[in-house]
Amino acid sequence: MQMRIGSYRNSLLWAVVVALLCFSPGGSHPRLSIPHFDKVVHFGLWAVLAVLVASESNSMRVHGSITRRAQWLGLLLPAAYGLVVELVQALPQVGRSASLLDWLADVAGAAVAVLCYRPLNRLLKGLV
């Protein structure tokens, strides 16, 4: 099967939103005094990305199922994107800092999203 960039429109749009958040100056985000709240945010951002990638890759979506290919893409593409984001944040010009724990939160969000995709898709009757 061939991957067409246009069929990943929602995933790409979300990836741009994530990049804007991740590369904006650190002081521009609201500060909460909840320990490790940023990990929860990373988890959620990448879970949404994984659902979008899996959904846009899934030829079985309307049948309430998911292909192995869509599962793997839903996990690997967001994980790779998270790694790239962290590596870019490590560059001094960006003014942010890279974090292995942020990347692990990204991967965990993607993994949980892929694992929950089938029941979520069935619950929403093929809309996801």
pTM, two decimals, is: 0.87
The amino acid that residue 125 corresponds to is K
Q: 109 with 47: CB under 8 angstroms?
A: yes
Q: Kindly state whether residue 86 falls inside one of the protein's structural domains.
A: yes
Q: Kindly state whether residue 19 falls inside one of the protein's structural domains.
A: no
Mean of the pLDDT values across residues 36-64?
91
- Predicted confidence at residue 24, as pLDDT, reads 85
Question: Is the model more confident about 43 or about 36?
Answer: 43
Q: What percent of the chain has pLDDT over 90?
A: 62
- Predicted confidence at residue 40, as pLDDT, reads 95
Q: Kindly state whether residue 25 falls inside one of the protein's structural domains.
A: no
Q: 94 with 31: CB under 8 angstroms?
A: no
Q: Kindly state whether residue 60 falls inside one of the protein's structural domains.
A: yes
* Per-residue pLDDT at 42 exceeds 80: yes
pLDDT digits (tens, 9 = 90+) for 75-125: 999 999 999 999 999 998 888 889 999 999 999 999 999 999 999 888 887
Q: Kindly state whether residue 75 falls inside one of the protein's structural domains.
A: yes
Q: How many domains does the chain have?
A: 1
| Structure tokens given for 31 | 């500060």
Mean of the pLDDT values across residues 1-22?
86
Torsion angle of C-alpha atoms 99, 48, 55, 80, degrees rounded to 10: -10
Q: Kindly state whether residue 4 falls inside one of the protein's structural domains.
A: no
* Per-residue pLDDT at 68 exceeds 80: yes
40 secondary structure, DSSP code? H
For tokens 């939103």, name the residue.
17
Mean of the pLDDT values across residues 56-80?
91
Mean of the pLDDT values across residues 23-32?
70
pLDDT confidence of 30, banded at 50, 70, 90? low
Q: Kindly state whether residue 88 falls inside one of the protein's structural domains.
A: yes
- Predicted confidence at residue 107, as pLDDT, reads 98
Q: 22 with 87: CB under 8 angstroms?
A: no
